[in-house]
Each structure stands twice: as structure tokens, then as C-alpha cells.
Structure 1
Amino acid sequence: MKKLFVILTLTIGLIGCGSKVEEPKDQVIKKGSVSVKEVQKAEKDKNIVLMDTRSYDEYNGWDLDGKGINGHIPGAVNYPTSAIKDGDIEKALERKGIVAGNEIILYGKESKTMAAALIEKGYTVSIFDGGVDKWAEDSLSFEKLKKYETIVPVSWVKDLLEGKKVNHYDGRPVKVFNVGWGEKGKPHKEGHIPGSYWMHTGWVEEGPLWNRVDDVRIKAEMERQGITTNTLVLIYGDPLAATRFGVIAKYAGVEDVRMINGGLKGWKDAGYPVETEMKTPKPAKEFGAEVPQNPEIIIDLPEAVELLKAEDGDLISIRSWREYLGKVSGYDYIKPRGRIEGAKWGMAGSDPWHLEDYRGMDQFHMRPYTEIQKMWEGLKINSKNHLAFYCGTGWRASEVWFYAQAMGLQRISVYDGGWKEWSETKETQKKVLKGEPKVLNEESFMN
């Protein structure tokens, strides 16, 4: 017992220090290993949880080992071993619906390291012998994020920029943008992915409502940044800001816009080099189409009102619980408090600047999509409806839109004006509610 305690202490200590962790000995596994048949039986046992300890990207569908394996074993939750260092293990398990008394079956390269951490918390753990390789060998099916190629791994970006052959790339011109606030690009000067350009969100949105700029200016900005409809645009930085720009680029007509999963943190964690030199992209002579090519991606106040009246439409509030209840406005430049009458709450995070409910524990990766799906089911959000996400002024809503399109949802939009526009417009400013609803997400919009 003393020997087991020493092994566990060393393992957890190494994880906390961020050092390279050696695989612990088999003695930390309480239940040994299990077979394919046992994994299949476990799918019907609610007390047993199958856990994929590989990266977020592999779980989504990326074949990072070149073995032709895309996705995860059906029913598995995702908790990368690398994410142990990013936050409270018990909180991470709670987000995945794992409770005391659950038995956990692990698979993935570093499952023994994860097992040590879970056993220390009191869980009964076993390892699926062979993992995804054995599953594929037996010709069993996998599940994946429907449009996983829109959320790209940092390793894929590095290979692409180095001219290596990569999957899901058709040879079109590439531009990488580090997106945030600040015309002079201070965050970019402090270090960025080599070859990437700075994008200030103030070039595509403006006050006082902080809606997108007009279509003529959007087109001009795309051309100034060297972007055409045929450019592959890769975005990273502050995920809220990056996706705000990404949604506007998609609205304009850029065919291929993708988010770098993990962003600069993921890039650095992988040990990849950064640069500090500021570079200006060569302008494009012509964007290649009139703007907008995809007007349905962004809706304005009149469309938001109509959506609230529609039987197959929902306006989804991507704001913190305190904002939703009307206890705070969330912003120093927005005075009114409350929520849009008839809108549903889609969860968000702790405040206007965070989106914990939609991200992995490190706050830079997309949260496993299966968890988002379950969260929406619990909130009575029907993904078959036309969903328009809104927040204060569009940033949080844009990030959720990006994840929803990766999940394969077809009818999704961002309500650009959000709470600021709704609460400050004469025609709608009284169509608001405050306080805790009698039944969550069953309020109606009164004509």
C-alpha cells in the first residue's frame, strides 16, 4: 500500500509541475484491462463510463497518427491526459456527468497516467486493452464531430505552413490571423504563430452598438487583408475575438474559415516556435464577390423579432446566469439589465469575457462536442430549429456559432445587435424579463 501511495504521489506531482510524466506501473490499475466485448457490454451499463484520454482533436475526428482512424468509440467521453494540468479534476469529471461510484474504462496512449489521477480520487479504473487500434481492427464503427475539419489542430497548421502534405486542404491560398482588440497589435508583438497577421476587431465592427461595419467596408477590409473568397482563413487569438472576425468573414463570402483549436497556448504547449515581427499582408485586388454572400449567418433586430415569433426558431442567450437574470448588465457601457423576452438561455460562462461552458479546461480548446449536445438537450434547445445566438454585442455568440457549425447544424445565425441593441431600441426595450423564470427556457415572446 505504501508503495502504491509513493507511485501515485510522484505521478500527480509530476503532472502538477508540467514535467514529462513517466507511465506508472500496472499496480495503479485497480481492475486490470478489459476486452472489446467488455467495452461493448459497458455501453448498456449506466454505472460504467468509457473515457477517451487522447487529444481533443483526435476525439473530434483528426487522424494524427496516420492510421486511418477518425473519431472515437461510440459513447465515450473525452478527457485528454494532457488536460489534467489545466484544472480541477473533480470539476472536469462533473462536467462530463461522472459521479462517485462510477467505474471508468480508459483508452488512449497515456491511460495509465490518467488512471493514477482517477484512482487517487477514489474511482475504480480499468484500461481497454488495444484501444482504438483494436476497435478498428475489429471493423467497429467510430463517431466524430460532423465537420471536424473546421476546428484544426496546431500540428496540422504547422505542417501546412511548412509546405507538408496535409489532409483536408485543397491547395488554395492560406492566411493566418491572430485576432484581438487593439489597432497596434500589442498581443501580436508579444509572440505569435510564425507568418500570421494581426487582425483588430475594430476594423470590422464599430460602436456605439458594436455591430459589424457596413458591407462596403467589410469588403474593403477583406481586400486590405489580402483575403478573397478563395482564401483559406485560419483564426486564433482570443477565441471570442477570433470567431467574431471568422463569422463576419463567412458572412462576407469567404468559403473556408477555420479555427485553430488550442490557439497560441496550444502552439506553445506543443513546443513550436513563435515570432514577434509584425507583418502586413499584401492587399488583394478584388475580394471576388459582392458582400454579403451568406447574409443568413448574421441577422439584425427585425429578423430576431420574427424568429421569436416562429414555431421553428429560437433566440439563444449566450450570457452568464447573472446577466440572464438581470442582476448585472455585464458591461460598463450597457446600463439596462435583463433578458430578451422569449429567448432561451444557452449557458456561457462566469462573466462577459469568459465562455467556460463551451471550452475545454484550458479555455482555448473547443469543449468536447458530445458534452455541448447533452448540455443543449438539458436546456431544451432543439438543434433542428433555426437557432440565432446572441450575447452582449456578438463575441460570445460568434464562438458558439462556430462550434454549432462544426457540429453540423444547418440553420444557425448570430443576432449581431444582441442585448445592447435590443435593450436600447425604443421598439424592443420593454420586451425584456428579469428574475428567475418559473420554468427555464419555456418563456414566450408576447406579440
Structure 2
Amino acid sequence: MKKLLVIVTLAIGLIGCSNGVVEQKEQVIKVGSIGVNGVQRAKKDKNIVIMDTRSYDEYNGWDLDGNGINGHIPGAVNYPTSAIKDGNVEKALERKGIVAGNEIIIYGKNTETMKDTLIEKGYIVSIFDGGVEKWAEELLSFEKLKRYETIVPVSWVKDLLEGKKVIHYDGRSVKVFNVGWSEKGKPHMKEHIPGSYWMHTGWVEEGPLWNRVDDNKIKAELEKEGITTDTLVLIYGDPMAAARFGIIAKYAGVDDIRIINGGLKAWKDAGYPIETEMKIPEPVKEFGATVPQNPELIVDLPKAVELLKTEDGDLISIRSWKEYLGKVSGYDYIKPRGRIMGSKWGMAGSDPWHLEDYRGMDQFHMRPYTEIQKMWKDLKINSENHLAFYCGTGWRASEVWFYAQAMGLERISIYDGGWKEWSETKETKKKVLKGEPKVLNEENFIN
């Protein structure tokens, strides 16, 4: 490993019982480069972190440069250089398990910018000469998000809509939906991806429980929006709302539904044009199948209770810690507080309207999947079990479902009724817990 020593003089104020004294102290920071063999050796050192500074999409597996590379160096964490501007650097590093004293090897794009940022934070930094291209030349393996094609980059969407040839597309008809809560589509009229349509979640879910509407209404709504079982449906907007519509459409039988990673923010950050004209999709006469085609994707109250009684089934609470403890209900229209007895906490965010624990620092991209996997492992969530995600009424749980399916999990659902239905239903409203558990995620359901 070649290293260049840089001497940085720091002025440190020492406060004592007498007058303040300023002491000059030298900090040695190592900067340099490293080759393939050095990276391979470093992978065995727990104190060394390998960091991929490319985009979330490239880390997931998308070959955006056309060089035949899908994924990242095994064991590498992902911190795009472009994400430095999106939030607190210290917080971002903490989420990746990087602590003071770690050495960091970086590769990817704009590595000089990332190097300077990390050095400023006091880390020992090396740059991998040649990066992923050199790794590929040596015929070494890569890792990737198992179903990365279901979480699509904005550049792929733009090329697709412009009629260019793109990978992971079979020529079927395409519809893009901007999803949120507004019957008249005010957010859409302000700005949207050209050619996309507005989808109000209130058209596919209804109060008072905010479960999905009945199957006939779902079918009719999809037909009104010009969607058949064979339509490629791309969704963006409020990520939770988009996922809520997406899983209901998937439950109905739409074969191919994908989330646009980063949504409108990523689209605008890329400098792509926006549109304000409200367009109405042309309806279709027939959806193409009876609804639902995939009933297992959404479980209702009886199945949720059944899962809690089994050895290989779990309800995963995608709610804030305060909601899980019962300190708040989280919603002005949900009065009861607490958690479902026997459920496991899957983390979520700071409140019902945020999902920071599952998103990148910009709050619109999917969080690097390796971080989600580690988070679940730390929470004792067994990905081999049948996992049914729930939240207050389904939005947060739906977004996490999409990430879980992209990660390759097979036995996953959402519990549609969530905390609102469970806590307001006579048969289950007393099957709740409050307060901090003695051992997190080891509580049992008691009949």
C-alpha cells in the first residue's frame, strides 16, 4: 500500500483551573493508493472499511456506464459522493458502522471529494487504484441487490420514455404514476416527470380503517387508469404512497411494478426536464384477470393472528420507537397506543410521516440494502420466516415490502389493517403491549 503522509497542525483549546492555554498538536493522516491485492487483504481486517462512492443504483447492480459491471465489491459499504450534500456526514458514517479509528479504502466516482471529506473527519483514507474496473479485470466476483431491476434509476426511466433501448425491459406497454394524497392532484400540477399520470391513494384505499377498497373497485380503478396485468407500471412521488398503490396493484395481478429510485428529486438533480400539464390516461376495457391474482401479498386480521401463533411467522412493526413503546399513537385519528403483542420492531423513522431507517440520506432513495440486512440481523428478524410488515394503516409497511422483495425475500406480505385495525377490533384490542420490552423482539403472543 502506497501512502502519502500529510501533517496537519491543529490548535486545541485546553480549559483548566487557571487561564486557558492553547497547545499545538500534530495529527498524522495517511493518504494514498492501494491495489487489488491490498483490497483483498483489507477485506480480512475488521478495522478497515471498503467504501463504494458510486450511486445507490450502481451499488445495487445497475450498469450505468455500460462496462458490464453489475454490483459492488463484496463487503463494501455504499456512500455516494453525491450524497455528501444530503445530510450529516457523521450520521451517514454511523449508519454504515464506521467509527473513529477505522481505516477506509474508497473506490468509485469523485473519490477525491470523498477522500477530502473523510480526511477532514480524521479518517485514514486510501483510494483503490482502478476501482471496480480493475476488480473486474482480475475476474473477481461482485455482489448486488438480488432483484435490483425492480428499483430503477431515473436515467433508465428517461431512456425508456424516449424510446431508447434499455435492459430489463421486454417491450410491453408502460405507464408512469406520480402517487400521493390529493384527489385533484395538486402536487402533480406543480411538477412531475413528463408523461406521468397522477394517482390519488384514496382511489384504492378507504376509511375508517384505510384498508384497500374491495376487489371489484380495485379492478375498476386499474382499468380506469389504463392498467392491465401486462402493463409495466413505474411509480414515484411520496415513496410510501407510491408503494401503497404499488402493492395493491401487485395484489390485484399487475405483473411488473417498479419503484423509481430517488423519484422526482433524483430526476431534477440529474437536470432532466419536468412537466406541469395534467394528463388523463386512456382507460382499458379489461384488466385481464380476476382480482386478486396474488392474495398472499396482503394479509387481513385473522391471518395476522395466525402468523403470531406459528414458529415461522412474524408481524414486523414498521413504526417509530415512540409508537412501538406506546408513548404516542402516531396519528390524530388513531387513539389507542401500544404495539401488537408478539410483534417485532423493524425500525422505521422519527414519526409516522418519515422512514429514515429505510432510505438514503436524501430520503428518496432506497437505503443501501446491505445496511437494511445488518439492521434486521441486529433486530433478530429472520428473513427466512413469513414476514408480514405493518404500520399504522399500511403506507410505511408497503414501502418496506418493496425493498424486501428487491432483496429477494420470498415469504413477505403486509398486514393491511395495521395498528389501527388491531387496536380498534374487539377480538384483538386487548392483545397489546406498552413500555420497553425486557428483551427486544423476543415477546410472545398469548392466546
TM-score of the two chains, using structure 1 as the length reference: 0.94
Q: Is residue 386–residue 412 contact of structure 1 (8 Å, CA) maintained in 2?
A: yes
Does residue 375 of structure 2 align to residue 350 of structure 1? no
Matching residue of 2:388: 388
Distance 1:250 1:400 in 2: 15
| Counterpart residue identity of residue 316, structure 1 | I
| Counterpart residue identity of residue 303, structure 1 | K
Tell me the matched-pair count: 425
**Which whole-Å deviations, capped at 9, do the CAs of 1:68-89 have from their partners, x for residues lacking one?**
0000000000000000000000
Matches within 5 A, 1:6-405: 30-405=30-405
Higher strand share: 2
Task: Name segments (4+ residues, structure 1) moved above 4 Å.
Answer: none
Which secondary structure does the structure 2 equivalent of 1:354 belong to? coil
Distance 1:4 1:201 in 2: 57
Please report how far the alpha carbon of residue 363 of structure 1 lies from its aligned counterpart in structure 2 after TM superposition.
0.2
| Counterpart residue identity of residue 378, structure 2 | G
Please report how far the alpha carbon of residue 214 of structure 1 lies from its aligned counterpart in structure 2 after TM superposition.
0.1
Which secondary structure does the structure 2 equivalent of 1:149 belong to? helix
Q: Is residue 389–residue 400 contact of structure 1 (8 Å, CA) maintained in 2?
A: yes
Q: Is residue 29–residue 123 contact of structure 2 (8 Å, CA) maintained in 1?
A: no
Distance 2:295 2:366 in 1: 26
Please report how far the alpha carbon of residue 29 of structure 1 lies from its aligned counterpart in structure 2 after TM superposition.
8.2
Distance 1:108 1:216 in 2: 49
Q: Is residue 29–residue 112 contact of structure 1 (8 Å, CA) maintained in 2?
A: no
| Counterpart residue identity of residue 244, structure 2 | R
Which secondary structure does the structure 2 equivalent of 1:139 belong to? coil
Distance 1:296 1:106 in 2: 42
Which secondary structure does the structure 2 equivalent of 1:175 belong to? strand
Which secondary structure does the structure 1 equivalent of 2:248 belong to? helix
Please report how far the alpha carbon of residue 109 of structure 1 lies from its aligned counterpart in structure 2 after TM superposition.
2.0
Distance 1:31 1:112 in 2: 11
Distance 2:7 2:331 in 1: 51
| Counterpart residue identity of residue 226, structure 2 | G
Distance 2:30 2:361 in 1: 26
Distance 2:242 2:333 in 1: 22
Please report how far the alpha carbon of residue 4 of structure 1 lies from its aligned counterpart in structure 2 after TM superposition.
9.0
Q: Is residue 228–residue 284 contact of structure 2 (8 Å, CA) maintained in 1?
A: yes
Distance 1:63 1:441 in 2: 38
Q: Is residue 179–residue 241 contact of structure 2 (8 Å, CA) maintained in 1?
A: yes
Distance 2:43 2:284 in 1: 53
Which secondary structure does the structure 2 equivalent of 1:372 belong to? helix
Q: Is residue 29–residue 116 contact of structure 1 (8 Å, CA) maintained in 2?
A: no
Matches within 5 A, 1:393-432: 393-432=393-432
Q: Is residue 211–residue 393 contact of structure 2 (8 Å, CA) maintained in 1?
A: yes
Distance 1:271 1:59 in 2: 22
Which secondary structure does the structure 2 equivalent of 1:393 belong to? coil
Does residue 437 of structure 2 align to residue 437 of structure 1? yes
Which secondary structure does the structure 2 equivalent of 1:400 belong to? helix
Distance 2:170 2:59 in 1: 23
Q: Is residue 321–residue 347 contact of structure 1 (8 Å, CA) maintained in 2?
A: yes
Q: Is residue 179–residue 241 contact of structure 1 (8 Å, CA) maintained in 2?
A: yes
| Counterpart residue identity of residue 149, structure 1 | E
Distance 1:29 1:125 in 2: 8
**Which whole-Å deviations, capped at 9, do the CAs of 1:51-74 have from their partners, x for residues lacking one?**
000000000000000000000000
Distance 2:153 2:182 in 1: 26
Q: Is residue 325–residue 434 contact of structure 2 (8 Å, CA) maintained in 1?
A: yes
Please report how far the alpha carbon of residue 31 of structure 1 lies from its aligned counterpart in structure 2 after TM superposition.
2.7
TM-score of the two chains, using structure 2 as the length reference: 0.94
| Counterpart residue identity of residue 427, structure 2 | E
Please report how far the alpha carbon of residue 33 of structure 1 lies from its aligned counterpart in structure 2 after TM superposition.
0.4
| Counterpart residue identity of residue 85, structure 1 | K
Distance 1:428 1:32 in 2: 61
Q: Is residue 253–residue 289 contact of structure 1 (8 Å, CA) maintained in 2?
A: yes
Distance 1:293 1:284 in 2: 18
Matching residue of 1:16: none
| Counterpart residue identity of residue 404, structure 2 | A
Q: Is residue 176–residue 233 contact of structure 1 (8 Å, CA) maintained in 2?
A: yes
- Structure 2, gaps ≥5 residues long: 1-5, 9-27
| Counterpart residue identity of residue 265, structure 2 | K
Please report how far the alpha carbon of residue 30 of structure 1 lies from its aligned counterpart in structure 2 after TM superposition.
3.0
Distance 1:108 1:151 in 2: 20
Q: Is residue 7–residue 29 contact of structure 2 (8 Å, CA) maintained in 1?
A: no
Q: Is residue 223–residue 283 contact of structure 2 (8 Å, CA) maintained in 1?
A: yes
Which secondary structure does the structure 2 equivalent of 1:198 belong to? strand
Q: Is residue 239–residue 399 contact of structure 2 (8 Å, CA) maintained in 1?
A: yes
Q: Is residue 192–residue 264 contact of structure 2 (8 Å, CA) maintained in 1?
A: yes
